[in-house]
Amino acid sequence: MIKLLVILLLMAIIASLFSGLFYMFRKKDQVDDRMVKALTIRVGLSVTLFALLMLLFYTGVIPPEGIRAL
């Protein structure tokens, strides 16, 4: 379950990054609000993922050796 959540967050981060890239190249003369929102969402998702991984590590859900493959 943890692996699935991490993978989904990583996919959302990548999707938001490419969304911002798309909006950046769409209008070259001015910064589009949608690009700024996409990149803000990416930063928020990255911080959330980092905080979640740190929380799971400190609570012992993720051991120092890492998560074992099934």
pLDDT in tens, 2-46: 889 989 999 999 999 998 888 878 766 666 778 888 889 999 999
CB–CB of 2/61 below 8 Å? yes
The first and second tokens of residue 11, run together, are 């996919």
Distance CA 45, CA 10 (A): 8
pTM given for the model: 0.77
In this structure, is residue 6 part of a structural domain? yes
Residue 67 lies in a domain: no
Structure tokens at 57: 């590590």
Could you tell me if residue 52 is inside a domain? yes
Q: What is the pLDDT of residue 36?
A: 83
Q: Report pLDDT for 27.
A: 67
What is the number of structural domains in the chain?
1
Asked, for residue 43, whether it belongs to a domain, the answer is yes
- Whether residue 65 lies inside any domain: the answer is no
Q: Which domain holds residue 48?
A: 2-11+20-59
- Residue 68 inside a domain? The answer is no
